[in-house]
Chain A
Amino acid sequence: MVWLIGLLTLAGLALLFGVILGFAAVRFKVEGDPLVDQLNEVLPQTQCGQCGYPGCRPYAEAIANGEEINKCPPGGEATIQKIADMTGRDPKPLDAAHGVEEVKTVAYIREDECIGCTKCIQACPVDAIIGATRQMHTVIADECTGCDLCVDPCPVDCIDMLPIEPNTSRWQWDLERIPVQTIDVSQAQPITLKNKQESS
């Protein structure tokens, strides 16, 4: 008799949990893979396609499905490290077959050579080029991700990828790069000073 009670109790519990889990599976169903969104967030969003996928999100989806994590040259080692942390995989060095980590660039259109063909506008993944047919085009430098995709379609090769100019507000404190000079004041004539006080 005791074994029957035990059996019934266990069966009852199993049924109860089954119902709860079944309900939860329907009620709290997650649309899409949250990992893809997280991966997409750490990718640099250049949409350059160097990984072999048409944009960052497709590559994020591919990583979630087991693709290698070292195919993103614009992201570089930092991005690989972040993806490795997220997916729990071992970080790998950047796959050189997809390119190497380079200095960040922006596209620049030599405007007097532009013939207004709109081909670069169609190629730009982030709509950072403005212009119209037979009108000069130009790049919105702040929006350009430096993906390189506009360079190839240009029939007159008037697009350059220029490295981003460093400025004081984004300087990285690399003091080693400042050339040390010897100040030569030996030739300077000492000037006799007027030691008078400024009246104000």
Chain B
Amino acid sequence: MSQPHSPVKLWRFHGGVHPPERKTIANTTAIRTLPLPKALYIPLRQHIGVSGDVCVQPGQQVLRGQALTEPGVYGGLPVHAPTSGIIGEVVEHPSNHPSQLPEPVLTLIPDGQHTSASLQPVADPFSLSGLELIQHLHDMGVAGLGGAGFPTAQKLSQARAINLIIINGVECEPYIVSDDRLMREHAKDIVRGVQLLQYILTEENQAPKAVIAIEDNKPEAIAAMEQAIAISHAPIQLQVIPTLYPSGGEKQLIEILTGKQVPARGYPADIGILMQNVGTAFAVAEAIDQGEPFTRRVVTLTGESFQQPGTAWVLLGTPIQHLLECAELQPDTPQRIIVGGPMMGYTIADPRTPIIKTSNCILAPTNKELPAAQNESPCIRCGACEQVCPAKLLPQQLLWMAKAQDHEGLNQHHLSDCIECGACAYVCPSEIPLVHYYRKAKAEIREEKIEQQKSEVARQRFEARQERLEREKQERLERHKKAAEARAKALAEREKLAEQQATATGAPACDDETDPIKAAVARAKAKRAQQQAEASSDSEDPQKAKVAAAVARAKAKRAQQQAEASSDSEDPQKAKVAAAVARAKAKRAQQQAETAAKASDASKEKDES
């Protein structure tokens, strides 16, 4: 296709593939609005960062757009009610993550009215400072729709000296048409969003350049955007780029447009570039102009198993089951449900999984259409993977190392630069799921790092404790020494005094019978002897000890039962204490019995020998 819109030079990143696009399944119909689901499951942690505190009560009536959580510390975003209804409990629900591990979600039962709370649009955004607008975007819960769901406000506030904003409308992955449809139908809002982003990132009256990049397989979207830009007279450039997967990757698109490479482990902001998805630009415009919190997104429902494929506005938290019903799934056997596209998506096992901010596509292919990878054969060293890797890595080298768990080698070969695009696995003639090995290896390396940090902390804490114990011991010794000295001194003084008295009175020093100290010592000795006798009789007779232990156990049990019985009616604290005491007694009795038994065994052996 010719490129009438590319007045500037374009670069090409290394590798890339041309998988069948299959975009026409879903991009021919308008974005539709679905009926409300029976319940929404809104994950409290919908983004990178920690979840906020829930600020609504179960049973409370909420309106659409009302904040449900208060963002916590670093990286948090508030979550808003996507529709009006009644708040349910916070429950554990399968997460929209390849692991499907349960995570806390807030349930919301829609009342069907879809009543909005009073929205607070910004009347004249250009009279406010960029920082105030960023705060507003934060309050509206806007997150990046491109991939990781990074909070937009955080991304904008961390950006310094940006001279180029790239709006990513590439959507290079097969099947997915969410951005395509959004650009066709809401081009005006997207352009408005770009203008707002330009305003927010203006530094010293120097607004950054803005480029909207679209692949040349979306002529309708290109036309719509071109028209919207022309109407707005905004200084925004539209750049059409050739179709190649994965051109939509952040680092790849930057290389195509600028010829620059983002440094490894770095961010585009390091070279003065900020990238946002077209969906994010749309959300920014909605949040500022209409005060609309981020509660819905365009989701592509595609694949040949759907009778009614297309795109739809989906409320965040909608269970995927509802979407399957709405698009009239005719399940194949077995039917796979993929979140995301065929290259980078993941299969989910539980259809109750909710839609989150980053879910752009639900793909339900027939098994003929997209056969599941199964026949993994050994690597034949053909090198095809290296030819297509957009990050210029050596996929087969990485595969050997990942299999051998050679983490050091993986780091040396820059595994962390892998964008998990799946191009290598796509071309692999041996059908090796290469990306899966890399993801596993990445997780292992991350885990190892965490373990190392933890053990380092543990070592420091252990050493600090040893030091403290040593110091305390020294201090104790010092104290004892001082006390002993003081005692010796006092004794010496008393003796001296007594001597003086004795010499003064001439009487005998003291009388054995009447000296109270000696009497006390004698009494203590007698008591200790008696105790010893008792103890020895116990240990000599293990039978007795066992009986005693059993009695103690029985007592403990009874006490516990009593405690349990009385815990409701009587003082529960008292009962708990009694139970604890009883357990302690039982434990001690048992230990005594054991030691006694051992002692008797030993003595028996002695007798026999």
CB pair B576–A193 under 8 Å, yes or no, is no
0/1 per residue, B437-457, Cβ < 8 Å to A?
001100110110011001111
Contacts of B349 in A (CB 8 A): 178-181
Chain B residues near A43: list those with CB within 8 A: 455
Q: Which residues of A contact B446 (CB under 8 A)?
A: 170
Chain A residues, CB < 8 A from B459: 40, 45, 56
Q: How far is the CA of A170 from the CA of B459 in the complex (A)?
A: 22
A171 within 8 A of B: yes
Q: Are the C-beta atoms of A168 and B324 separated by less than 8 Å?
A: no
Which of chain A's residues have a CB closer than 8 A to the CB of B326? 191, 193
Q: How far is the CA of A175 from the CA of B456 in the complex (A)?
A: 31
Instruction: Tell me the B420-467 residues at the A interface (CB within 8 Å).
Output: 436, 439-440, 443-444, 446-447, 450-451, 454-459, 461-462, 464-466
Q: Is A196 an interface residue (CB 8 A)?
A: yes
Q: Which of A115, A179, A191 contacts B577 (CB 8 A)?
A: A115
Least CB distance from A168 to B in Å reads: 5
User: Given A45-B458, A128-B461, A188-B325, are A183 and B335 neighbors across the interface (CB < 8 Å)?
Assistant: yes
Known: A127-B465, A189-B325. A157 touches B447 (CB 8 A): no
Encode contact with B along A160-175: 1 for CB under 8 Å, 0 otherwise: 0000001110111101
A200 near B101 with CB under 8 A, answer no
Q: Is A44 an interface residue (CB 8 A)?
A: yes
- Contact between B458 and A198, CB atoms less than 8 A apart: no
Tell me whether A197 and B32 are in contact (CB under 8 A): yes
Q: Interface digits, A47-80 against B, CB 8 Å rule (1 contact, 0 not)? A: 1000000011000000000000000000000000
Instruction: Report the bound CA distance from A45 to B455 in whole Å.
Output: 5
Q: Are B583 and A168 in contact (CB under 8 A)?
A: no
B99 and A145: CB pair below 8 A? no
Q: A182 to chain B: which residues have CB within 8 Å?
A: 334
Q: Mark B312-337, 1 if CB is under 8 A from A, else 0.
A: 01000000010011101101001101
Closest to A173 in B: B440
- Measured between beta carbons, the chain A residues less than 8 angstroms from B321 are 183, 185, 188
The answer, among A126, A166, A186, A188, for a CB contact under 8 Å with B458, is A126
Given known A113-B576, A173-B436, A195-B29, contact A190–B457 (CB-CB < 8 A): no
Separation of A46 and B587 alpha carbons in the complex (Å): 27
CB of A156 closer than 8 Å to a CB of B: yes
In the assembled complex, A27 has its CB within 8 A of some CB on chain B:
no
A127 contacts B461, CB within 8 Å? yes
Q: How far is the CA of A113 from the CA of B584 in the complex (A)?
A: 11
Q: Are A143 and B436 in contact (CB under 8 A)?
A: no
Give the chain B neighbours of A128 by CB distance below 8 A. 461
Interface footprint category on A: 35 or more
Q: How far is the CA of A47 from the CA of B350 in the complex (A)?
A: 41
Q: How far is the CA of A146 from the CA of B194 in the complex (A)?
A: 52
Residue with the greatest number of chain B CB neighbours at <10 A, chosen from A47, A125, A185: A185
CA–CA, A172 and B98, complex, Å = 11
Residues B351 and A170 in contact, CB atoms below 8 Å apart: no
Instruction: Check if B95 sits within 8 Å of A168, measured CB to CB.
Output: yes
CA distance A170 to B100 in the complex (A): 13
Contacts of A31 in B (CB 8 A): none
For B466, what are the chain A residues with a Cβ–Cβ distance below 8 Å?
Answer: 55
Contact A168 B30, beta carbon cutoff 8 Å: no
A185 touches B329 (CB 8 A): yes
Q: A127-B464, A173-B439 are in contact. Are A198 and B33 (CB under 8 A)?
A: yes
Query: CA A40 – CA B458 in complex, angstroms?
Result: 12
Q: Which residues of chain B from 1 to 45 have a CB within 8 Å of any chain A CB? A: 29-35
When A168-B103, A185-B325 are in contact, do A193 and B464 touch as well, CB less than 8 Å?
A: no
Contact B331 A156 (CB under 8 A): no
- Asked if B100 and A200 make an inter-chain contact with CB atoms under 8 angstroms apart, the answer reads no
In the complex formed, the residue of B with least CB distance to A145 is: B458
| A193 touches which of B34, B331, B337, B588 (Cβ 8 Å) | B34
Most buried by B among A40, A167, A175: A175
A178-B100 in contact (CB<8A): yes
Q: Which residues on B sit within 8 Å (CB–CB) of A115?
A: 577, 580-581, 584
CA distance A181 to B350 in the complex (A): 7
B3 nearest CB across to chain A (Å): 31
In the assembled complex, the CB of A158 is this many whole angstroms from the nearest CB of chain B, namely: 8
Smallest CB–CB gap between B521 and chain A, Å?
32
Determine if A113 and B35 form an interchain contact, defined as CB atoms under 8 angstroms apart. no
Q: Is B386 part of the binding interface, using a Cβ–Cβ cutoff of 8 Å?
A: no
Contact A198 B450 (CB under 8 A): no
B286 at the interface (CB under 8 A from A): yes
A40, A125, A158, A197: which contacts B30 (Cβ < 8 A)? A197
Report how far A158 CA is from B464 CA in the complex, Å.
27
B577 touches A197 (CB 8 A): no
B101, A171: Cβ atoms under 8 Å?
yes
The reply to whether B99 and A45 form a contact with Cβ atoms under 8 Å apart is: no
A90 at the interface (CB under 8 A from B): no
Residues of B within 8 A of A171 (CB): 97-99, 101, 443
Decide if B290 touches A175 in the complex (CB within 8 Å).
Answer: no
Q: What's the least CB distance linking A89 to chain B, in Å?
A: 20
CA distance in complex: A186, B457 (Å): 54
Contact partner of B325 (CB less than 8 A), chosen from A45, A55, A191, A194, is A191
A88 to B95, CA, bound (A): 46
Q: Which residues of A contact B180 (CB under 8 A)?
A: none
Q: Say whether, besides A127-B464, A157-B587, A197 and B31 are in contact (CB < 8 Å).
A: yes
The B578-603 residues at the A interface (CB cut-off 8 A) are 579-581, 583-584, 587-588
**Is A112 located at the chain interface by the 8 A CB criterion?**
yes
Question: Is A12 part of the contact surface with B, judged by Cβ < 8 Å?
Answer: no
Measured CB to CB, the nearest residue on chain B to A112 is B576
Residues of B within 8 A of A172 (CB): 440, 443-444, 447
Residue picked from A46, A126, A183, A193, most chain B C-beta under 10 Å = A183
A51 to chain B, nearest CB (A): 14
Is B216 part of the binding interface, using a Cβ–Cβ cutoff of 8 Å? Answer: no
Interface residue B413 (Cβ < 8 Å from any Cβ of A): no
| Given known A-B contacts A126-B462, A127-B464, A172-B440, A44 and B455 have beta carbons under 8 A apart | yes
B94, chain A: closest CB distance, angstroms: 10
B185 at interface (Cβ–Cβ under 8 A)?
yes
Given A115-B580, A172-B444, A175-B436, A183 contacting B331 (CB threshold 8 A): yes
Say if the beta carbon of B308 comes within 8 Å of chain A: yes
13 contacts between A and B (CB under 8 A): A115-B581, A143-B457, A145-B455, A171-B101, A175-B98, A178-B99, A183-B331, A183-B351, A188-B324, A191-B326, A193-B32, A195-B30, A197-B30
Interface on A for B, CB 8 Å cutoff?
Answer: 40, 43-47, 55-56, 112-113, 115, 125-128, 143, 145, 155-158, 166-168, 170-173, 175, 178-183, 185-186, 188-191, 193-198, 200
Given contact pairs A188-B324, A190-B328, a sample of 14 additional A-B residue pairs in the complex whose CB atoms are under 8 Å apart: A40-B459, A44-B451, A155-B583, A155-B587, A168-B95, A168-B97, A168-B101, A171-B97, A175-B436, A183-B324, A185-B331, A193-B308, A195-B29, A200-B186
